[in-house]
Amino acid sequence: MRKILSLFEKGLMAIATLALVAMMVTTSVDAIGRYIFNSPLRGNLELTGLYFMVILVFATLSQNYARNVHVRLDVFSHLLKDRLGRNYTRAIALICLPVFAYFAWYAVHEALDKFIVRETRMGAIPFPIYLSYVWVALGAVTLTLRFALDVISPEDNEAQSPETLP
């Protein structure tokens, strides 16, 4: 199961990388068009905010957690790690699993609702925002699966510390 999830996470990471490159290109084109040609790229703010940023954040959640490169609060973690030992990862996953399972359930439900009504947002160009909800749901579901796997067998995730990754 871990291998399948890792492959899915790599695919999401590739999509997030493309979103980052696209965001940089469209923002550069918008800036050049705005300040040199006095003609900005219409809809770039919506495209960046509603699609690229959402993809970038939610498509990378699970793999960043698996590689231990996510943002975290390390103030007390060394104390917990000393106290819990090998069960540290399992304890963190047990705490986070119900929260993210609920978030994933809600995100999938919301994405389906938005898809049914084909919700759009009016701006410079009317954008279908229901597509953004898909990325939130995918990120939440993959992170929930990652937490569930860490509850079952946390040893596999501990082997992938940032120091051991290429």
What distance in Å separates the CA atoms of residue 166 and residue 164, rounded to the nearest whole number?
Answer: 7
Residue 159: how many CB atoms within 10 A of its CB?
Answer: 7
Polymer length of the chain: 166
Instruction: Indicate yes or no: pTM above 0.85.
Output: no
**Coil vs helix vs strand at 160:** coil
The predicted pLDDT at position 87 comes to: 82
Which residues fall within 8 angstroms of residue 4, CB to CB, at 6 or more apart? none
Full DSSP string of 85-138: GGGHHHHHHHHHHHHHHHHHHHHHHHHHHHHHHT-EE-SSS-EETHHHHHHHHH
Query: Tokens 């990862």 belong to which residue?
Result: 89
Are the C-beta atoms of residues 120 and 126 closer than 8 Å to each other? yes
Where in the chain are the domains? 2-158
Position 155 scores a pLDDT of 57
pLDDT of residue 72: 67
pLDDT tens for the chain, 166 residues: list them. Answer: 888 999 999 999 999 999 999 999 999 999 999 999 998 888 888 889 889 999 999 999 999 988 888 776 677 777 777 777 778 888 888 988 999 999 999 999 999 999 999 988 876 677 888 889 999 999 999 999 999 998 888 754 444 444 444 4
